[in-house]
Amino acid sequence: MHEMHEMRSQTGKAGHSTLLTTQEVQALIKVDKSTIYRMAESGRIPAIKVGRQWRFPEDRIRAWLDGASVMGPDVPVQTPAPANGAGITAVLTRESIQALTDLLGELLGAMVLLTDIAGNPLSDVSNPCGLFEAVRDEPGVMDHCIKGWERLGVQLDFEPRWEPTPLGFDCARGLVRTGSELSAMVIVGGVEPEAWPPSPERIAELADGLSVDAETMAAHIGEVHRLDAKERGRVLDLLPRIGTLISRLADERGRPVSKLDTIAALAGEPPPRSKT
């Protein structure tokens, strides 16, 4: 912490919180600037935005580094989040969250839902695949799904990746923050893995793990969303941007955003103008 002490003596007085620059944080945790920016955007490091620049409260960075020291300071550590996604639901209504996930389901061609950071759903599943629909109401199935989503929330890395689920298909998640804290996840799932359909033995194993009828699973096993390699990569590329977009919607406390603006934000293009 010698470097931190020197920065404090140069940029702030004892008893006052000092805002560190990106360069100063870079010197402390030994990662490139782009990684620090992504960590700040996703809420994986204490940060505030001043205009267009990120600044980092020294006292919170000190606590963050102490928490990360077991694994090394360059490993992102999840900051505490409001319980049950309160940061999101306090500023976005369930209806607006549902409308957003419905739109994302259509755009991405996959299942989409928003959960809190513990995996508890904050919306209904949008664009569900037939396999999920066939078994979702069976006792215990949603509990298995929520546990799977919870595991996504405790992953230390913040880059999205495809993960297998209790139902056998793949899902991935993007992180959503409220202020500087992680509060929710956008989950994309119901996607066919590379090796699909599974063997009868694997179907029986999946059914047994969920305590559902194997014949029911077998009858609907082909009813999943099919994305080719390019589309799967595109979803992974979009998930951080989607998480950032939802974070901004929450931070702006419900400022109306049209569907065209939302599509434009996801596509990185200006919305089409109406002809007069």
Q: Give the domain range for residue 11.
A: 2-68
Res 67: pLDDT: 57
Rounded Cα gap, residues 129 and 224, in angstroms: 5
My answer on whether 42 and 149 are in the same domain is: no
Res 81: pLDDT: 40
2 CB neighbour count, 10 Å cutoff:
6
Rounded Cα gap, residues 79 and 36, in angstroms: 15
My answer on whether 61 and 130 are in the same domain is: no
Res 254: pLDDT: 43
My answer on whether 124 and 231 are in the same domain is: yes
Rounded Cα gap, residues 92 and 225, in angstroms: 28
Q: Residue 275 falls within a domain, yes or no?
A: no
My answer on whether 165 and 230 are in the same domain is: yes
Rounded Cα gap, residues 172 and 190, in angstroms: 10
Res 199: pLDDT: 93
My answer on whether 59 and 107 are in the same domain is: no
My answer on whether 263 and 224 are in the same domain is: yes
Per DSSP, the three-state class of 176 is strand
> Of 68, 101, 117, at which residue does a domain stop?
68
Specify the pTM: 0.62
Res 157: pLDDT: 67
Res 62: pLDDT: 77
Res 3: pLDDT: 44
Q: What is the block-wise mean pLDDT of the chain (276 residues), using blocks of 10 residues?
A: 43 57 83 78 76 81 63 38 53 86 94 90 93 90 88 77 92 84 89 91 92 92 94 94 86 52 52 46
Q: Residue 77 falls within a domain, yes or no?
A: no
Q: Residue 274 falls within a domain, yes or no?
A: no
For the CA atoms of the chain, what is the radius of gyration? 21
